[in-house]
């Protein structure tokens, strides 16, 4: 075992993260529906000032809640990744390419954030499956799907923001709305896949920890005997 790392139960942190990912998926659907209502309103060609104001207010509230969920999810996900990386080291994983700190930090470093966080998550998934022989574990296809959706979500999110900032008439607002709807669809898929990925890593770590705990209990009983 890595003496510099201690295994800590991440059940509570995992439950919170899964709740947030579920909330993110649900709210992305709410945002998608709201955007569709906006698109239909714009497609009518004419609408009253009160209808326009009600639409704008609804969109702003949904956007603020969406942002709040996103920020909290990012913080909790970062904490979860950091602790899960320490856990696999405590379980015996050696020679992992990326430290727990950088497994989080690389998400915020331009250019390298296009591949290094994926490498860190791939190593974490493999080490959670088999800490002492993780090099021999083939990565799951869900890792590639998660990372593809993560990149797509960020690209579409930026495109949606820029489109909304460049609105100058009805047609440009319609285009921005469509971009936002596509982004929402990708975000729903991302939250679902991330939920599954987190669950797999958590369950693998718990199953790896259980035999160690059982051996410890047997040893203690033998010593008492």
pLDDT tens for the chain, 225 residues: list them.
454 778 999 999 999 999 999 999 999 999 999 999 999 999 987 888 999 999 999 999 999 999 999 999 999 999 999 999 999 999 999 999 999 999 999 999 999 999 999 999 999 999 999 999 999 999 999 999 999 999 999 999 999 999 999 998 899 999 999 999 999 999 999 999 999 999 999 999 999 887 655 444 434 333 343
Domain boundaries, the chain: 11-218
Count of CB atoms within 10 A of residue 15's CB? 11
Position 214 scores a pLDDT of 45
10 Å CB burial of residue 68 (0-12, 13-18, 19+) is: exposed
> What pLDDT is attached to residue 217?
40
**C-beta of residue 100 within 8 angstroms of C-beta of residue 82:** yes
What kind and span of H or E run contains 16? helix 11-43
Smallest CA-to-CA distance from 163 within 181, 153, 176, 178 is with 176
Placement of tokens 């797999």 in the chain: 200
Here the tokens at position 13 are: 């942190």
* CA separation for the pair 112, 103 (Å, rounded): 12
Give the Cβ contact number of residue 61 at 10 Å.
11
Distances from the Cα of 126 to the Cα of 67, 122, 139, angstroms: 32, 6, 6
- The confidence score (pLDDT) of residue 180 equals 96
Query: What was the pLDDT predicted at 46?
Result: 83
CA distances from 204 to 15, 127, 128, 198 (A): 15, 9, 5, 10
Cβ atoms of residues 120 and 42 within 8 Å = no
Q: What is the pLDDT of residue 218?
A: 35
Instruction: Note the helical H segments in the chain.
Output: 11-43, 49-90, 100-105, 116-129, 141-165, 170-224
The single-letter DSSP state of residue 8 is: -
């Amino acid at each position: 075992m890595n003496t510099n790392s201690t295994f800590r139960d991440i059940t509570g942190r995992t439950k919170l993260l899964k709740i947030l990912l579920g909330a993110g998926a649900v709210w992305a659907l709410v945002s998608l529906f709201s955007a569709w209502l906006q698109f239909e309103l714009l497609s009518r060609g004419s609408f009253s000032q009160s209808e326009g104001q009600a639409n704008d207010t609804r969109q702003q509230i949904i956007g603020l809640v969406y942002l709040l969920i996103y920020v909290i999810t990012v913080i909790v996900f970062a904490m979860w990744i950091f602790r899960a990386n320490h856990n696999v080291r405590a379980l015996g994983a050696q020679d992992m390419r990326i430290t727990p700190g950088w497994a989080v930090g690389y998400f915020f470093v331009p250019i390298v954030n296009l591949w290094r966080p994926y490498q860190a998550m791939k190593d974490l998934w493999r080490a959670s499956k088999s800490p002492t022989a993780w090099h021999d574990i083939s990565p799951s296809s869900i890792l590639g799907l998660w990372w593809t959706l993560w990149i797509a979500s960020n690209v579409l999110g930026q495109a949606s923001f820029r489109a909304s900032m460049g609105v100058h008439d009805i047609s440009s607002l319609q285009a921005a709305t469509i971009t936002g709807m596509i982004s929402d669809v990708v975000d729903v898929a991302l939250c679902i896949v991330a939920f599954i990925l987190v669950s797999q890593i958590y369950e693998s770590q718990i199953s790896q920890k259980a035999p160690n705990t059982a051996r410890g209990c047997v040893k203690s009983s033998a010593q008492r005997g």
